[in-house]
Chain A
C-alpha cells in the first residue's frame, strides 16, 4: 500500500478544493449590454419614425419629442395642480410608508413561520390566501373599510408587499446554517444571543431580497392605489391625463414609473452589496 493511499483509503470521494470556487459575481457581458442598447434604440427609432410620418394619429401616439416636451412642461408648470416632482413625491411617500409598515409586520411573521411549526400553521394560510389576489380586487373592500383617505392607498400597497417579505424572511430563517447555531451555542450563547448574533444576521440577506421584491410589487400596484380619490401621485396623474386624452403625459408618466422602478431596484441592489457583502459567498 502506497503512502498516498493510506490517507485516502477512507475518503475516496472527498474533494480537496473548497466549494466556494464559483465565480464571485456575475458580470453582464458587453454582448448583452450592446444588444439591449440596440433594442432600445430601435424601439425609440421606430416610435419616432411612425410618429413623424403620423402612421397613427397624434392622439394615439405622440412623438418622443412631444413626450419630452410634456416632461419639461409637467416638471416646470405641473399638471392637474401639481408638478411632476410633487406627483413623484406623493407616490414615493406612499410606497415607502407602505414598505415600512409591511416590513415591520412581515419580518416577525416570517420569523414565526420559519422558526416554529405553530407559527407556520397560523400564518401560512393567511399569506397564501393574500398572495394571489390582485390589488384591484381588494380595492373596493379597503374603501368600504377605511374610506378614501391616505390609509387605504398605503394599505393597498402594503398588502402587496407583505407576501414577498414574509416568504423570503421565512426561507432565510429556515436556511440558517445549523453548524453556525451549534458553534454559537458551544461558545456559550443564550437563546436571545443566538437570535441576535446568529439568526438575525444570517437572515438579513433574505430579508433584503424580500424588501427588494416587495418594493417592485408595491410600486406596480401604485396606479391601482391611486385610483382611490387621490389628488397627487404618478398613478393619479396618468389617470387624469387619460381622461383628458393628453396622451403625451400618459406616456411620459409610464416612462417615469418605469425609470423609478429601475432606480429603486438598482439602489436596493447597491444596498445589499453594502450591507451584506458576504451573501452568496459561502
Chain B
C-alpha cells in the first residue's frame, strides 16, 4: 500500500528563516488528509515538498521508503488557479499525461472522454479551456490529475476560487473521486467545514515557523459516501461540535 512519508522536515527559502520546522506527515492510500491553517503558515510549501517541487533543508520526503527527488506522475497535483494549458482542448488537457507518454491520439480521446464523464463534463471535450467556467476548469484539473492514475492526489485549495454552491457540489465530486481511485489524498483548504466534510484526518498548522499543532480523525466523508445527505451531516450535532472544537483549537493556539 503506497505510503508518502514526510519526516521531520525543515524548509527555508533561499536560506532565510525556516518556513516549516520539524514537521512530519504521513499519507497512505485510502486516506484523505486535509491541512488547515492561517494564511502564510506554510500549507502550500508543505504540498510543494510532497509534490517534489521543493526540497527540504533537513528531514526527508519519501514514497514507500524511496526518497523523493522531484515531481513524478505517482503524485498528481491539482492547483488553486487550475494551471490548465489553454492552447489545448479540454480533452487534450485531461489526457496530457498520456500525450507525454506517447499514447496514440485515438486512445487518448477515449480515456479523456471516460474521465470527463467521471467529473461530470461529458461531451465538453472539444471546448477550448477559456470557454469553461471556473468550476468546470477545476473539474478538468481534477480529471487531468486522475488520468495519471496517481498513487497520491495533492490539491492546493482547488475550490478556493469557487462560489459557495459550486463548492458544495465539487466537495461531493472530490469525495467520489477519492473513493473511486483510492489515491492517498492531501487537500489544503481555508474552509473548516470543508475540512470536516472531506477528511479522514485533519491536520492543523500554525505559522512562524510552520508546524503541526493538532491532528484529528473524522468520518463525516465516509457517512456521506454511505448515502447520508450533506445537509443532514452538516447539521448534525457531532458535526457542529467538531467544527466548534476545530475552530477553538485554531484560535486558542493563535492567541497564545
Where the two chains meet, the residues of A that have a C-beta atom closer than 8 Å to any C-beta of B are 1, 3, 6-7, 9-11, 14-18, 20, 177, 179-180, 182-190, 193, 197-198, 201-202, 204, 276-278, 281-282
Contacts and interface: CB of A to CB of B under 8 A. Distances in A.
B38 interface: yes
Given A9-B192, A179-B83, A281-B86, A186 B100 contact: no
B186 interface: no
A35 to B, nearest CB: 33
Given A7-B193, A10-B38, A186-B52, A278 B128 contact: yes
Interface of B: 36-39, 51-53, 70-73, 75-77, 79, 81, 83-87, 96-97, 99-101, 128-130, 133-134, 144, 148, 160-164, 190-194, 234, 243-244, 247, 250
Among A10, A14, A17, A202, which residue has the most Cβ atoms of chain B within 10 A?
A10
Given A14-B190, A16-B161, A187 B73 contact: yes
A10 B87 contact: no
Nearest to A18: B134
Given A10-B39, A14-B160, A186-B76, A204 B87 contact: yes
Contacts, number: 112
A9 B100 contact: no
A16 B190 CA distance: 13
A197 B70 contact: no
Contacts of B193: 3, 6-7
B191 A182 contact: no
A9 B36 CA distance: 12
Given A197-B99, A201-B85, A278-B130, A182 B247 contact: no
B144 to A, nearest CB: 7
Contacts of A186: 51-53, 71-73, 75-77
Nearest to B86: A278
B192 A10 contact: yes
User: Interface of chain A, helix or strand or loop or mixed?
Assistant: loop
Nearest to B77: A186
Contacts of B73: 186-188
B83 to A, nearest CB: 4
Given A3-B234, A188-B101, 6 more contacts: A7-B164, A179-B81, A180-B83, A184-B100, A201-B85, A201-B87
Contacts of B81: 179
B129 A278 contact: yes
A231 B75 CA distance: 65
A188 B100 contact: yes
A201 B89 CA distance: 13
A182 B77 contact: yes
Contacts of A177: 83
A197 B148 CA distance: 17
B235 to A, nearest CB: 9
Closest 3 CB pairs of A and B: A278-B86, A11-B190, A179-B83
> Which one of B38, B130, B164 has the greatest number of beta carbons of chain A within 10 Å?
B130
A193 B99 CA distance: 10
Contacts of A198: 85
